């Protein structure tokens, strides 16, 4: 849905050219539905490019790949997309808490989390802002009858990678984790609403996050 070349190609097939960025969501849906074959051909080319130029590239951007498995999913509220599992050679696993440092080091070697520079690459910054950031403007699907997002967003940002584990059973959970999470989310929502540029450091310097009683 957010791939402008899909819209442009279909409109060109229909003999129309121009800037279609101003179309609303429903108009874009109508255009995509008018030619599902072209949509899927272009989607397949994108998946091929993802595998060839990124996942399986000689650069080994996520490490040497041993195997992979993906499935294509279609949803009424968006474009087709894939869910993928990739097996990386010599990737550590969490069999014991002592394994966590090795797993964290492996993750940090290949994955980073930062916004692209808006001035250096405005197009990439726009794409990441639109599709890789969970907005506070949740859809009906996020809520589904709940006041808060059923997926738990927004979530507290972390200064470093951690391996989190849930209690083995309800008896081990005294409710403190939930209480801390709710407190952190309240603070995060306040920072988001204010548009605080230093909201990450503000959250971590707030004593109330550490004392959730």
Contact 128, 197 (CB under 8 A): no
Phi-psi region of 71 (alpha: psi -120 to 50; beta: other; left: phi over 0): beta
pLDDT at 164: 74
Asked if the structure places residue 135 within a domain, the reply is: no
In a domain, 117, yes or no: no
In this prediction, residue 198 carries a pLDDT of 44
Residues in the chain: 213
Domain-located, residue 120 = no
What is residue 47's predicted lDDT score, i.e. its pLDDT? 94
β-bridge partners, 86: 68
Domain that holds residue 163: 148-213
Specify the number of domains making up the chain.
2
Residue finishing a domain among 49, 81, 113: 81
In a domain? residue 142: no
Please check whether residue 101 lies inside any domain of the structure. Answer: no
pLDDT at position 104: 92
pLDDT value at position 43?
92
Residue where a domain terminates, one of 26, 47, 81: 81
Query: How far is the C-alpha of 165 from the C-alpha of 27, rounded, in Å?
Result: 44
The two tokens of residue 97 are 């808490």
- Which pLDDT value is given to residue 100? 87
Position 143 in a domain: no
Listed as ranges, residues in the chain with pLDDT below 70 are: 1, 76-78, 134-148, 152-156, 165-178, 180-181, 184-185, 188-213
Residue 139 lies in a domain: no
199 within a domain of the structure (yes/no): yes
């Amino acid at each position: 849905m957010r791939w402008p070349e899909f819209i442009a190609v279909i409109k060109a097939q229909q003999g129309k050219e121009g800037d279609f960025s101003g179309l609303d969501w429903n108009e874009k849906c109508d255009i995509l539905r008018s030619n599902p074959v072209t949509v899927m051909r272009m989607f397949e080319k994108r998946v091929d490019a993802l595998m060839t130029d990124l996942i399986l590239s000689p650069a080994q951007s996520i490490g040497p790949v041993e195997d992979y498995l993906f499935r294509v999913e279609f949803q009424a509220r968006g474009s087709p997309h894939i869910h993928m599992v990739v097996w990386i050679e010599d990737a550590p696993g969490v069999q014991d808490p002592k394994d966590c440092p090795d797993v964290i080091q492996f993750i940090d070697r290949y994955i980073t989390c930062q916004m692209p520079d808006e001035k250096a690459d405005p197009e990439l910054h726009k794409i990441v802002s639109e599709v890789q950031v969970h907005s506070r403007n949740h859809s009906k699907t996020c809520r589904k009858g709940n006041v808060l997002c059923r997926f738990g967003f927004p979530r507290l940002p972390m200064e470093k990678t951690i391996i989190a584990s849930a209690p083995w059973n309800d008896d081990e959970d005294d409710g403190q984790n939930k209480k801390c999470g709710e407190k952190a989310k309240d603070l995060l929502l306040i920072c988001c609403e204010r548009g605080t540029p230093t909201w990450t450091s503000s959250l971590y310097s707030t004593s109330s996050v550490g004392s959730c009683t």
